[in-house]
Chain A
């Protein structure tokens, strides 16, 4: 029983995989509408006001860990990765959820400054949003 069969693995998710590509090139972005509402792709409409006029803005280089957890019981897709630290990082205009990749999970604390760093799952080799310290 799995929802990650070969077909869904090979088909890209438009908008999301494009964002991962950009992030790997150091060009991660967020979306902004004329009202100043911010969000992450894929998005056709602003979730706050419905505006279709969304522009890509560069994601700040660093953010702060707003909260984190060390997961010991993962889903099968991260079986070989556990234990790992998942954090919500506040970049200012948007927050992003990802894994702390360069630090012992026990040394993670809120308030630490990190940068985006797309990594790979040790279990599936799929791309994973990660964060490294700066």
Chain B
């Protein structure tokens, strides 16, 4: 996908790409680097022109009014977290290793990411400690499903969240290139958003061989 809009400068982009490559590493299967999750986040931070893909995949919604203002506020906040977070990460790396993050080896990069992982606010640390279940880099909730509260995340959790999003969200958002993320986890997803939108995407092939529920083999009740 051709990415027109970008936010990062070259160094910021290289740093985020390297960090994302440790969050979802490349091993015997592709990782964040091959799936181009950095393109995903760079496009997200570029402004509010790529927030919502049109559901048939033909473009992006142009936001207006209160929604546009809310998204501008959210993107501005994320931008500031990335700019400050990258700078702080480099500061710590220089202090520890006398080199910027991008110049460290993978082991050192992992070590520095672990260091910023727990260095959030006191509230975040307490929540981390007290909460038994945590979404992948997501909101600190004991729940198995919950809406995402990006505004509450620190830089590291935001980075993890955006890496996962960029790896697994529809390729129209700039990541999950060639559906590599879906291939890695084994999701035979739709060819495109248009397939879902048109109702051509159907998952019945992945249901049980016996489509009739146990105990119901004697057909639907005849009371009707």
Q: Judge: A and B partners, yes or no.
A: no
Taking Cβ atoms with an 8 Å cutoff, the residues of A that contact B are none
